[in-house]
Structure 1
């Protein structure tokens, strides 16, 4: 669990950014009687990316719906009271952001639920409920490597250090799909973080580029630091989770655009509340919109040349 929390905090950037609404505020709040439908936004914790999603979602529905946001701040203390308040306050739809908020409502409400920013949504059995739809935080591998191939056309063999379980669950099907764009995934299976360095050296010699995947069986803080530092020192091309990892020494990232997820939630709300679509018929959809970043320190020093023309399409170049 500690490894998982560490990885989530690094992926999403935990900070002390605050939200003004609390359960007590919601308990004392009444939605306006203006004929508009009411939306409750439940946020798991004080994480900047969660705030980005929330803000853009609110922008996308502003004026069309009544809304109120409650941040649990990582504390389940008021979950039961919040559920009771939802039933009493004529909430037409609940938007949940983050795992704790999703766990709090799954199987406990008949109200339509939309979720986002949940890495491990499958463990909550959301596909069993007709009132739940959501947005996955997993970018399709084709999206990542389509962007990368445009930048480095000559790469073909991608090394991945992971557990056998992770590969079978998350990457086996992707491996077949990536072959259609000329990418071969070559996994280096390990069962302990202690074996990470040896696998790294083997993969860096035998493949064109390394892909860091969020497998908590093999990744810990030390291995992440080693991967980033050793890659930068030797100019080994690599793909990492996000811009923050590029800043820390990685080469290239294709990550979620959090404002785009907020806008996507707004579109899904309208499908449910206006077009009367059943949430389960919408299902769990991939995220739209990406954010690309590249580390300029690698340019001209790797074994592969860069398509200079495509650099202009990168969202952020880290100096």
Structure 2
């Protein structure tokens, strides 16, 4: 129940972040649209006096960032701003420093050649401000789309996590996607202090299994690994296939390795016992690894543990 409570709190946090981004981006879009409407008559009048070629250049500059953008950060962004400012100054651009800031911050420096053709115009800043608002709108719309995709991914993982097959039939399942469902749900506990190393096969690996039962296996093993590392360390998940020469069966071997304190030899033989736990009162029931063992046995598989100080590996072997 404690781990479930932490999971729910983490998911609420993970959904709240993209929802906040959607709200902020929507407000900025509304503000940009309002400003564009207020300036539209002026821009239409100015455009009508321009040659067709320059009108085409202006619209090309406005629409290109919808498809491609090169966002720079830190020292690289500062370096580019300085170079662009100096170049525009030489070309006689008014407020070249402001233009350089906006160009780099919006990630549209790839369209600088078009700005160079237009920047000496008397009314360039009117056009630039109008166009940059369209570019900001496209950036905010992309932020909304990315946030929606993030929420959808979390909800899809939750659906997989909570769904139970009432018929109890094995289902041909993508093993990698099954494990990734749990990593998505625990992202909030993982992302700040834990580095994940994935060692997966080049192609998807499908096995006949009870997918929702296996999700409980990965949930217990991954959450235990996170706690063992005190939420800071390296979590390595590897998947390999091998053939048993004696039985001629193919096996999927899933290893979940952490850089935590490890398990002492004194208790290693007891960790799968029901109600045995080394956690503080209220933090664990001592049933997690017993559930894992029973589910693995249900799949005619096996589970092993290797441990030494600073390293622990659970290996789950499942028949393919």
TM range (shorter): under 0.3
Bigger RCO of structures 1 and 2 (CA < 8 A, at least 6 apart): 1
Using the size of structure 1 for normalisation, the TM-score is 0.22
Which of the two has higher C-alpha Rg?
2
Using the size of structure 2 for normalisation, the TM-score is 0.22
| Greater helix fraction, Structure 1 or Structure 2 | 2
